[in-house]
Every structure is written in C-alpha cells, then in structure tokens.
Structure 1
C-alpha cells in the first residue's frame, strides 16, 4: 500500500469542498480523475510519476470502505474526518450527534485490544 498516496487523497479531498462533493456524488470517476490529474501534482508546475494507487486502495476509495482503508494503514484521523464530511449529516438526522463517529468506531471495533495498523509511510 502506498500509505502516502492514500493519505494524500484523504487529506486533499477532505479539505476541498468541491473535491468532497464530487467524491461523494461519483466516487469512481472522481478517484480516477484524482489519480490521473490531481494526485500527481507536487505543486503548480511539477508532477510526480512515482506514486499510484493499488487495485485494493482504488477499490476501497471508490466504495467508501473506510474499514478497509483503516486496515491497510490509512491515517486514522484523515480517514475519519473525510468520511465525517460525507456521512455525518445523514447519520446525525437518524441517530443524533456523533452518530457517524460511533458507527466508525463500531466498524473498526474488531481492532480493540490489538495494535492498530501502522500509519508510517
């Protein structure tokens, strides 16, 4: 897993309202667009050809599978905050405040008592 590249995706998408909206509405196309034209950008001029997503990473991002991303070692906070941006409001309407955070905790709860996957790159 390219933890750096997955974490870069999580960080960039969470902090850009347009990216977040596009990712929530059409994850398959947005992940492809990000991987081709947004992710490789180092700055306004330079591009990197070193990084790419694995098939498993791409699948997890397209399916919004935050548990798989967690298990692959995606940074916990980046993973959580991105999906709060997508799911917090619908969960809150049905289950009250912090509902998505509790859902996230429940779905990764099988890691309780174990060492969490490392987030180092």
Structure 2
C-alpha cells in the first residue's frame, strides 16, 4: 500500500478540470490510465524524471475506481484531498452543502484516532 501514491493521484487529478470530469465519468479507465502513464512522474519535475516502482495495490485501485472515499480515508488518503476532489466531482448533484453532509455521514463511523495520513 502507498499512501503517497493515493495522495498523488488525488492531488494531481483535483488540479486538472479535465481529469476531474474524466474521473467522474470513467473512474476505472482514468485510474488505469493514470497508473500506467502518470504514477511514475515525479511531482514538480520536468518530464525527463520518472520512477518505475510505484503502483496501486488491488484494494487501492478498487477504492479509487469505485469512488469509495470512506475506504480511501481508511487506507490513509488525506481527508482534505479526498474532500476537495469529490466536492469537485459530486457537489453539483446535491443541494448546497449536501455533498459535504453526505461525506461527513459516510465517514461518521471513523473514530479517533484517525487512520495515519502521514506519507
């Protein structure tokens, strides 16, 4: 498991409106494409720098492909990153503050101490 890679996915997708829409409409395809094409890119570096060892495990891949933000939180994804990305994708489908309320309700079962979010 790689909390770093989960957070990197959430961070990079959230910052690109086209990727946000792609992930909303085709989560499985977007996760597969991102893992194959983007996971090895080093953040904030030129295109020549990359790594070959990063990959999601099956649990991470399924949680991302299923838009399962409670599972992502349990896996250690940073809650701010999941919240901002999923607001961008799903807030439009709810009343004002409706998605934020749903997010809180779906994570209400998580008690302190919260899962470790350190990378």
Q: TM-score, normalised by structure 2?
A: 0.93
Shift >2 Å, 4+ stretches: none
Q: Find out whether 1:117 has 2:115 as its counterpart.
A: yes
Q: Would you tell me which structure has more helix in proportion to its own residues?
A: 1
Summarize deviations over 1:81-119 as a string: whole Å, max 9, x none.
110011101012xxxx1110110000000124x211010
Greater mean deviation of Cα atoms: 75-84 or 39-48: 39-48
Instruction: Specify the alignment match of 1:100 in structure 2.
Output: 99
Matches within 5 A, 1:79-98: 79-92=82-95, 97-98=96-97
Partners in 1 of 2:39 and 2:17 — Cα distance? 16
Q: Match of 1:109, SS?
A: coil
In structure 2, how many angstroms separate the alpha carbons of the residues matched to 1:38 and 1:18? 15
Q: Give the Cα–Cα distance (whole angstroms) in 2 for the partners of residues 46 and 5 of structure 1.
A: 16
Please identify, of 44-53 and 71-80, the stretch whose mean Cα deviation from structure 2 is larger: 44-53
Deviation at 1:50, TM superposition (A): 2.1
Shift of 1:22: 0.8
CA RMSD of aligned residues (A): 0.9
Count of aligned positions: 116
For 1:76, the equivalent position in structure 2 comes to 79
* Structure 1 portions without partners, runs of 5+: none
What is the TM-score of this pair, normalised by structure 1?
Answer: 0.92
Deviation at 1:47, TM superposition (A): 1.3
